[in-house]
């Protein structure tokens, strides 16, 4: 079985400050890792994903994440946040193919002007 832990339910940060949203996973086999963003009253949208290759993954809107196998982590970072980044962020894990995607409980990023 696979699982995802998002350690922070809410992260307040001032505009233009850097942010890191933490995600740890557990799985007995190799996995694919994802970050999705959900803006208010909308569906989820993919920010970035790690399938293989370089452990540093760049996504949309200036976000990046680093896959760390030894620490089973996939933390999301942005060097300078904007008001428009205020949203719920979900880390997710999958074994690929037709296997289900397991989502974390989400981290609410609140950008303060």
d(CA 7, CA 43): 22
Residue 57: which of 82, 74, 39, 80 has the closest Cα? 74
Is 86 near other proteins (CB under 8 A)? no
Of 16-24, 30-38, 62-70, 73-81, the segment contacting other proteins by CB under 8 A is: 30-38
Is 10 near other proteins (CB under 8 A)? no
- Phi, psi values for residue 14, rounded to 5°: -75, 150
CB 107 within 8 A of CB 94: no
Q: Determine which helix (DSSP H) or strand (DSSP E) holds 66, and give its type and residue range.
A: strand 64-68
Is 110 near other proteins (CB under 8 A)? no
Identify the residue among 90, 91, 109, 111 touching other proteins (CB under 8 A).
90
Is 60 near other proteins (CB under 8 A)? no
| Interface residue list for other proteins (CB under 8 A) | 32, 34, 36, 38, 41-46, 49, 51, 88, 90, 94, 96, 98, 100-103, 105-106
């Amino acid at each position: 079985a696979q699982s995802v832990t998002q350690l922070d339910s809410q992260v307040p940060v001032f505009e233009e400050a850097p942010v890191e949203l933490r995600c740890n996973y557990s799985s007995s086999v190799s996995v694919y890792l994802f970050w999705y963003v959900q803006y208010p009253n909308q569906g989820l949208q993919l920010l970035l994903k790690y399938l293989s290759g370089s452990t540093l993954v760049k996504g949309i809107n200036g976000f990046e994440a680093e896959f760390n196998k030894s620490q089973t982590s996939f933390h999301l970072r942005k060097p300078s946040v904007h008001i428009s980044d205020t949203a719920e962020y979900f880390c997710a894990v999958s074994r690929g193919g037709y296997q289900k995607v397991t989502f974390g409980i989400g981290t609410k990023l609140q950008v303060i002007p």
